[in-house]
Each structure stands twice: as C-alpha cells, then as structure tokens.
Amino acid sequence: MLTFTVVAPKGGVGKTTLSANIGGLLRDFGFRVLLIDADVQPSLSKYFDLAQVAPYGLTKLVSEGFLTPDCVSTVQLPFGEAGFKGAHLLNPTPALDIVLSDTREGKLQDWLAQRLDRLVRISMALNQDAIATLYDFVIIDTQGALGHLQDAAVNAADILISPVTPDVLSAREFIDGTRHLIARHEEAANMGFKVPAMKAVINRTENTRDSREMSSLIREAYLHLRGRVSTVQTAVHSAVAFRKAATAKVPVHWIDPLRAADAMHMLLWELVPSLQGQYAPNHRNFGNPDAVLDGFGPDSHDPDGQ
C-alpha cells in the first residue's frame, strides 16, 4: 500500500483536483483506492457522487486512530451514462472509497492540540494489516494551511504531492511555505519520524512566456531545498476539462481521454515508476505498452482550449 498526501502551503492550487484525478485514474488502472478528505472544507468529499454514505468519517478515524468500515463511504461513478468517452470500456469493479470530511471548523484541530500523539493519528489508523489488504493506494487531500490535521496527514504519507501554480505570488509563497513545512517536520524527524519525499507538481501551466519562466524558476528554487523536494517533469496544463470533470463528478480522463488523460498518466508514471506503460482501458494506447504519448510536452499549449 502506498500513501500519497497532497499538500500545499497555499489554497486553490489544485490539491483536490489532483487528489480526485490521481485517485480516479489509479482506480481505472484496476487498483483499490481509498481517498481521505482531511480538509475541514469538504471539497474532495463532494467531488464524486456516493453510492453509500458511511455514518462516520474523518473525525472517527482520527479520534479512534483506527479505520473502521463505518467510516468508509463508497464512490459512485456514472458507468453506462452517455457522454463519457470510453467509459463503457472501464471496469466497474475496483473500489474507489472515501473517508468523508465531517469535522466542523477547528473542532478536530482543537482535539488534536490536546493529544501528545497528534502527529501519528492518521498514520496509526492506516498502518493496520487489514487496511493494507483492502487498498493498494491511499490518497489524502489536505487544507492549504498549517495545522495539526495537516501535520498528521503529512506524517502518514509515503510521498507528498505538492501542486504549485506557475505565477510569481504563488511560487514565492510556495517556496517559503514549503521550506517552513519541511523544517517543521524535520524537527519531528529528530524524534524518529520520517519526513516523506516531496514531489512538486506544476499545475495549470499556460502556453505563455511568463508561465514557462515561472516553471523554470520553481524547478531551480527546489534544487536548493536540500534535496527534500523534487519537481516532477510532467506539468499539468490548464484545461477546461478539469472543471468539466469536477462538474460531471468524474475523473478528467473520462472527459478528455487525449491531452488531460496523457498528462495524468505521465504524472502517475513519474510518481509510481512501476506503473510506466500502464493505461486506463479507455486510453487509445491501452493494451499497447510500447506506444508513446506524443504531442504532449510539459508546458505545451492546448490547441483546442480543452
């Protein structure tokens, strides 16, 4: 089981979008995926429709330090509905489950503040043998602010995924914020906790000089973060398809099986190199692992504005 935590020191940079789409693509690869919405604003909880809503969610997971079935809701994807490209090719069987955010602003944070073991409240819930046999991947979405909940989500990760948008303000805030976040967790590393490797993902690139310059600036800035952060080569372009997908409550590769699907495949392959060459069944290269994804560059332009 591999756990990703999607974290950023800034709001609105694409954490929830990446969480939902990486989760959805892994599911369509045939993996069993658990999403955890650890944001007090329950955006990931609302991204997909639900087939079954569990009576409990994040609060119980954190406060009991145990993941029980009554915390796990099930996502409903609209298989069989018209309008989704190649959805009939997808396998309806693999699981896409979610632990919903049910915490009122501040309440869980306050509870955690009283606990000496607050840093490990999520990791201890996930480190049970039973969970590892149920899920291949866990993806935790977080809020864009430091806090005990974010700390616990970071501590539970094998890999931190950190979206950053290529604009000056966002990049600056991001670099300072990331430095701070890493320093904060390195203090805990002195007590024997690991600091997960962070992979920065440049999200919402445009085909402009400014966007390209900011992307290189971000890549350079991370070279100085003591090897803790690497920027993945795949940048995710800005595309209407991401918003359309959120509206339709499906992963973006159901809406745009060409460019957005390619970007998400390449991102996933970089994050989990053993997946290289695997495709979702609705992808044109499915069954042809030697095919290459062409017509796609890290910062290239989306000609049809998708």
Ligand X SMILES: Nc1ncnc2c1ncn2[C@@H]1O[C@H](COP(=O)(O)OP(=O)(O)OP(=O)(O)O)[C@@H](O)[C@H]1O
Provide the binding-site residues for ligand X, judged by CB under 6 A: 8, 11-17, 39, 43, 144, 203-204, 236, 238-239, 242-243, 246
Tokens of 206: 């445009």
Compare residues 16 and 123 and give the one whose CB is closer to Mg ion.
16
CA separation, residue 186 to residues 73, 139, 140, 162, 261 (Å): 34, 22, 20, 17, 35
Q: Which is nearer to Mg ion, 43 or 306 (CB)?
A: 43
Q: Is residue 202 within 8 Å of 241, Cβ to Cβ?
A: no
Which of 44, 88, 38 has its CA nearest to residue 61? 38
CB 223: neighbour CB atoms within 10 A?
11
Q: Please report how close the Cβ of residue 241 comes to ligand X at its closest, in angstroms.
A: 8
Q: Which CB, 122 or 264, lies closer to ligand X?
A: 264
Q: Which CB atom, from 38 or from 120, has the smaller least distance to ligand X?
A: 38
Which residue ranges make up the site for Mg ion (CB under 5 A)?
15-16, 43
Separation CA 21–CA 262 (nearest Å): 12
Residues with Cβ within 8 Å of residue 130, at least 6 apart in sequence: none
Closest-CA residue to 25 (of 197, 256, 304, 234)? 256
Q: Kindly state the smallest distance separating residue 248's Cβ from Mg ion, in Å.
A: 18
Least gap, CB of 96 to ligand X (angstroms): 17
Q: Which listed option, ligand X, Mg ion, none, makes contact with residue 295 (CB within 5 to 8 Å by class)?
A: none
Nearest distance from residue 128's CB to ligand X, in Å?
Answer: 28
Report in angstroms how near the CB of residue 260 gets to ligand X at its nearest: 8
204 binding partner (options ligand X, Mg ion, none; Cβ < 5 to 8 Å by kind): ligand X
* Residue with Cβ nearer Mg ion (162 or 278): 162
CB count in 10 Å sphere of residue 74: 14
Q: Are strands 159-164 and 96-99 parallel, antiparallel or unpaired?
A: unpaired
Q: How far is the CB of 19 from Mg ion (least distance, A)?
A: 8
Q: Which does 29 bind (CB under 5 to 8 A by kind): Mg ion, ligand X, none?
A: none
The Cα 263–Cα 239 span in angstroms is 11
Rounded to a whole number of angstroms, the minimum distance from the CB of residue 251 to Mg ion is 16
Nearest residue (CB) to ligand X, 45 versus 65 = 45
Task: Answer with the entry of ligand X, Mg ion, none that 243 interacts with (C-beta below 5 to 8 A by kind).
Answer: ligand X
Q: 87, 93, 127, 96: which is closest to 23 by C-alpha?
A: 96
Residue 12 interacts with, from Mg ion, ligand X, none (CB under 5-8 Å by kind):
ligand X
278 vs 290: CA distance, rounded Å = 10
154 binds, among Mg ion, ligand X, none (CB under 5 to 8 A by kind): none
State whether the Cα torsion 25-28-30-31 is positive or negative. Answer: positive
Shortest reach from residue 47's CB to ligand X, in Å: 9
* Beta carbon nearer to Mg ion, 1 or 145: 145
HSE, side-chain direction, 13 A CA sphere, residue 266: 22
Nearer to ligand X, 11 or 83 (CB): 11
